[in-house]
């Protein structure tokens, strides 16, 4: 790190002590922190920066340009359910109804439009692979997907069990404009497809939103997670009873046993471990404590002179082999 100005820019320089320094072409990298994506795009168009990420609003007008590309990342976003504040959400059929009421494909295409992909699993696709390059995600058979008829059938069961026709749910999310737009889409889908269910939106700044989620002061919340290490456990142990105590109210001893075994006894049999972890994920999804929405994507523009950049699913971007042909 050569220099760092908080919320302005930071500069990296080539490490002369690096063992393979002769194969590093760049002398340094200058990062500019630009909060407004339109400003960043203007800088790119005026040749002030070599690459920039695009907001969903700017994708259509730039997708045919040279240097446009998208890639899936390793984070998934989902609706997290809390069964402690709103007792109606203790009803599994109600949770299942919500899980089947949202058209994720339309949401990804129309709201995000950035290379993100709809997903019905908690863990991301093409991120966790074994020595044979098999994708863990393919072992998981998600119990719910977008299906209005099934959603409404689950809702009728829930109404009968709860003894009521009107259900109110508060949706907690971040305070950015795009978060509001996304929340309004989920609200529209739920209220349109689940008659009698009303969803209100509560927006909070990032710090407060996270604090409310941590202490379980919410009904349902938009949440995202990305891996800390290349194993599905980095997602699945989030919902151990001891981990989610006070945050979601989720408590499933069978799930706990598989996850704990996955950290200990199952390590000696990797294939069986993956099968068991997939079973645990299906259990979590069946309980509808998380409602997967999408796997995050990124859209960007990069100058044709920039070659050799590698983007990993897990970890940082790799610039070791980048060359500027100019």
Q: What is the pLDDT of residues 155-209, one digit of tens each?
A: 999 999 999 999 999 999 998 878 999 999 999 999 999 999 999 999 999 999 9
C-alpha dist (Å) from residue 42 to 34, 50, 182: 11, 12, 26
Element (H, E) at 15: none
Task: Say if CB 167 and CB 198 are below 8 A apart.
Answer: yes
pLDDT at 161: 98
Output the pTM of the full model. 0.90
pLDDT at 7: 80
Query: Considering the domain 3-50+303-324 in this protein, what is its CATH number?
Result: 3.40.190.10
pLDDT at 310: 81
Q: Are strands 9-13 and 28-32 parallel, antiparallel or unpaired?
A: antiparallel
Q: Can you list the positions of beta strands (E) in the chain?
A: 3-5, 9-13, 28-32, 51-53, 68-81, 117-118, 167-174, 197-204, 220-225, 290-302, 306-307, 323-324
C-alpha dist (Å) from residue 91 to 101, 145, 277: 16, 19, 25
Measured CA to CA, the distance from residue 124 to residue 74 in angstroms comes to 6
pLDDT at 22: 93
pLDDT at 315: 67
Confirm whether 3-50+303-324 and 73-297 share one CATH topology: no
Architecture of domain 73-297: Roll (3.10)
Q: Where are the domains of the chain?
A: 3-50+303-324, 73-297
C-alpha dist (Å) from residue 151 to 61, 122, 171, 189: 36, 19, 19, 11
Alpha-carbon 250 to chain mean position: 20
pLDDT at 28: 93
Which portions of the chain are predicted below pLDDT 70?
315
């Amino acid at each position: 790190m050569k220099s760092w100005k908080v919320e302005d820019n930071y500069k990296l320089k080539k490490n002369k002590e690096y063992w393979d320094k002769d194969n590093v072409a760049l002398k340094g990298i200058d990062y500019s922190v630009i909060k407004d994506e339109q400003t960043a795009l203007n800088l790119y168009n005026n040749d002030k920066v070599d690459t920039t990420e695009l907001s969903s609003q700017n994708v259509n007008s730039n997708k045919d340009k040279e240097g446009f590309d998208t890639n899936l990342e390793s984070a998934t976003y989902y609706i997290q359910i809390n069964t402690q504040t709103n007792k109606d959400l203790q009803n599994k059929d109600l949770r299942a109804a919500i899980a089947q009421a949202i058209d994720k494909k339309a949401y990804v295409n129309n709201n995000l439009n950035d290379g993100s992909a709809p997903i019905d699993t908690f863990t991301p696709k093409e991120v966790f692979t074994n020595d044979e390059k098999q994708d863990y995600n393919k072992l998981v058979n998600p119990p719910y997907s977008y299906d209005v008829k099934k959603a409404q059938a689950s809702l009728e069961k829930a109404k009968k069990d709860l003894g009521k026709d009107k259900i109110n749910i508060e949706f907690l999310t971040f305070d950015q404009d795009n978060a509001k737009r996304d929340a309004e889409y989920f609200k529209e889908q739920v209220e349109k497809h689940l008659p009698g269910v009303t969803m209100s939106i509560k927006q909070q700044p990032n710090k407060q939103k996270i604090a409310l989620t941590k202490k379980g002061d919410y009904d349902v919340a938009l949440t995202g997670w990305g891996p800390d290490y290349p194993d599905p456990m980095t997602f699945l142990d989030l919902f151990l009873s001891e981990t989610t105590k006070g945050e979601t109210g989720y408590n499933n001893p069978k799930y706990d046993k598989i996850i704990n075994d996955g950290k200990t006894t199952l390590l000696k049999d990797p294939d069986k471990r993956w099968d068991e972890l997939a079973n645990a994920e299906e259990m979590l999804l069946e309980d509808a404590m998380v409602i997967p929405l999408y796997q995050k994507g990124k859209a960007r523009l990069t100058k044709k002179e920039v070659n050799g950049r590698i983007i990993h699913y897990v970890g940082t971007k790799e610039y070791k082999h980048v060359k500027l042909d100019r």
